[in-house]
Structure 1
Amino acid sequence: MPIFEYRCQKCGHEFETFVWSSRDEETLRCPKCEAEEVTKLLSSFSSKGSLGSALSSGCGTGGLGGFG
């Protein structure tokens, strides 16, 4: 499901919402102050088995992948 993060330009409130179409985005309002002036934020992506979890699980003690 497409979840996007937004920041209200009027009050600074950050919120997440589902956006199914460009029409949904055109009618989007801040849930705190009802302003229409909202900006889409860049958000990070994470998934199960991401690089972060692979790095934290460890790869052994060799730093050269067995070439040293």
Structure 2
Amino acid sequence: MPIFEFRCLICGNVFEKLFNTRQEEFVALCPECNAEYLERVISRTNYIMGSSQGGDKTKLTSKSCSTGNSCISFEIPGPE
């Protein structure tokens, strides 16, 4: 069940919406001012880069995606 964050472009309120299914309909209104002008916000994570208890480290892999651009992928240690 994904949780998305939204920011109201009128009053600046940031709020979350939990979706139970992909097909769930969402009435896009700010709960503070009822404005319909919202933008999706990229949520912060609470993952800390570094060693885990087992000593494994996050592995960053950089590769070329297209001419002049690169992409980075993260391999985060954890249970398989």
TM-score by length of 1: 0.58
* Structure of higher RCO (CA pairs closer than 8 Å, 6+ residues apart): 1
List aligned pairs for 1:1-68, cutoff 5 A. Answer: 1-19=1-19, 20=21, 21=23, 23-24=25-26, 27-46=27-46, 50=47, 52=48, 55=51, 57=53, 59=55
In structure 1, what is the Cα distance between the partners aligned to 2:25 and 2:10? 21
Deviations 1:1-59 (A, max 9, x none): 111001000000011112344742xx21100000000100011345xxx5x27537584
**5+ unaligned residues in a row in structure 1: which ranges?**
60-68
Percentage identity across paired residues of the two chains: 36
Alignment: residue pair count: 53
Structure 1 or 2: more helix by fraction: 1
